[in-house]
Amino acid sequence: MSVVIETTIGDMTVDLFTEERPMACLNFLKLCKLKYYNYNLFHTIESGFIAQTGDPTGIGDGGDSIFGVLQGPEKRFFQAEDLPKIYHANAGLVSLVSAGKGLVGSQFFFTLGENLESLDGQHCVIGEVVEGNEVLRKINEAIVDEKFRPYQDIRITHTVVLDDPYADPRSFREPSRSPSPTAEKLRNGRIAADEDIDDTDGKTMEEIQEMLAEREAKARATILEIVGDLPDAEMAPPENVLFICKLNPVTTDDDLEIIFSRFGKVKSCEVIRDRKSGDSLQYAFVEFENKKACEAAFFKMDNVLIDDRRIHVDFSQSVAKIKWRGKGRGVEGDSRSLDFNNLRGSRRDLQSRRKQLPERGRRNARSRSRMRNEMCSKERVKVREERHHKQENRKPYSRSDSRSSDYKRSSYRESSYERQVGRNVKCHSSKAGDKGNREHSPHDTKAYGNLQNKTGHRNLEKQQ
């Protein structure tokens, strides 16, 4: 047995479980046939949970069963079936709202999520949506307030019973046409379903631009949440933390804490430094104990001279104290102080932040990098010069000083040079050195000694 429920945003077809829930389905079918639900407001919409309607007053605490409509207020509720058990396992199920102890009336809801175990055993499932699931998606996306009440009305406009297997109760009279809406039914609405909403009506150009900028910021935050860079698009930085930049590199944490403590108690103060070198990156975060002290420091300390530098102060835009467990796993508080590693985040975030820096900031960063490279180059040149100076001032090699292979190779090169040039002066020194080597170098290799001996004899022959 089916019923078509027409709403202001589309139509849905509901198949009823008449065999499992005969009394509850009779109640629902007869109320639809009586046009009791026409112009009823969806007064509660919780995204991913339920969309509730069926109260003619639109408040959420009214409505009578078909027996209460025909027989009086004492029959407002009746006992619905609870067996066999039907669970709220899928989206699109239709359930009569229980007023307690299994008593139901006219109000019902559509499930907007799956595995809603908290509803099982309390409310009576009577059917499911077989056509019009896109209407349920639109209802699920409706904009609501903190009490889950939609800002723009979503109403049932008409109900059509396709098949009714039950006989009409005594004194039941089906209306010949759909009745016009009463003032009571339309009283609790907000914005009419067919009313065009103009957000810019009555606003100045500055207010319109501010509204557009806010929308754009929310859209960007939502995109960051979708791609996984933010755990939540609505996440906001703390209101008691100040961001200070353009600091002098010599300014320390203690200096800033002393300066800013006159506005209120400072919980933490940290100058962000490079991980490897420990040099100041010329910006810091100051966390106050309360928001009022933070606001006072913001208004008083901007463009103030500290250590011959005019600093810039702004409210922190960092959410680095929020530790993200990963996409789909939520967030947790991080008691650690803000540091450069948490601030810069992933490599992709760092690259995007660099692109967003102004050109002047990028030039300054490049110049600082170039200065560091030049300093490193100067240090390397200095080390090389010192090493070269030490080599030039090194004592002449004596075989009695060391037995390293380096000095052996050096002596070998000297002997080869002497052999090629064949100077007479070198011959005497070579012969003397040869003799001295044979006396004082018993650990030299045999080949090396033979080479020197041959060289010495050859030079002596040339001299004679």
The region that residue 107 occupies, defined by phi over 0 for left and psi between -120 and 50 for alpha, beta otherwise, is: beta
Report if residue 348 sits inside a domain: no
Same domain, 168 and 272: no
Report if residue 214 sits inside a domain: no
Report if residue 414 sits inside a domain: no
Q: 386, exposed or middle or buried, with CB in 10 Å at 0-12, 13-18, 19+?
A: exposed
Q: pLDDT tens-digit profile of 91-118?
A: 999 999 999 989 999 999 999 999 999 9
- Measure the CA–CA gap between 284 and 340, rounded to whole angstroms: 10
Same domain, 247 and 124: no
Residue 322, beta-bridge partner list: 333
The residue out of 297, 315, 333 marking a domain boundary is: 315
Same domain, 77 and 163: yes
- Residue 178 confidence (pLDDT): 85
Question: How many domains, in total, are found in the chain?
Answer: 2
Q: pLDDT tens-digit profile of 71-89?
A: 999 999 999 999 999 999 9
Quick check: pTM over 0.85? no
CATH code where residue 43 lies:
2.40.100.10
- Residue 135 confidence (pLDDT): 96
Same domain, 157 and 265: no
- Residue 221 confidence (pLDDT): 77
Same domain, 179 and 284: no
CA torsion, ordered 202, 207, 209, 213, to nearest 10 deg = -120
Report if residue 271 sits inside a domain: yes
Report if residue 269 sits inside a domain: yes
- Measure the CA–CA gap between 237 and 340, rounded to whole angstroms: 16
Same domain, 148 and 293: no
Amino acid at 248: N
Same domain, 99 and 16: yes
Q: Which residues contact 390 (CB under 8 A, 6 or more apart)?
A: none
Quote the tokens at residue 102. 């299994």
Same domain, 255 and 182: no
- Residue 433 confidence (pLDDT): 46
How far CA 275 is from CA of 94, 251, 342, in Å, comes to: 59, 17, 12
The residue out of 289, 315, 341 marking a domain boundary is: 315
Report if residue 370 sits inside a domain: no
Task: Residue 43: give the domain boundaries.
Answer: 2-187
Same domain, 164 and 255: no
Report if residue 304 sits inside a domain: yes
Same domain, 261 and 168: no
Report if residue 78 sits inside a domain: yes
Same domain, 113 and 248: no
The residue out of 315, 341, 373 marking a domain boundary is: 315
CATH code where residue 249 lies:
3.30.70.330
- Cα 187 to the chain's mean position, in Å? 43
Residues of the chain with confidence (pLDDT) below 50: 326-331, 333-351, 353-362, 397-421, 423-464
Same domain, 74 and 183: yes
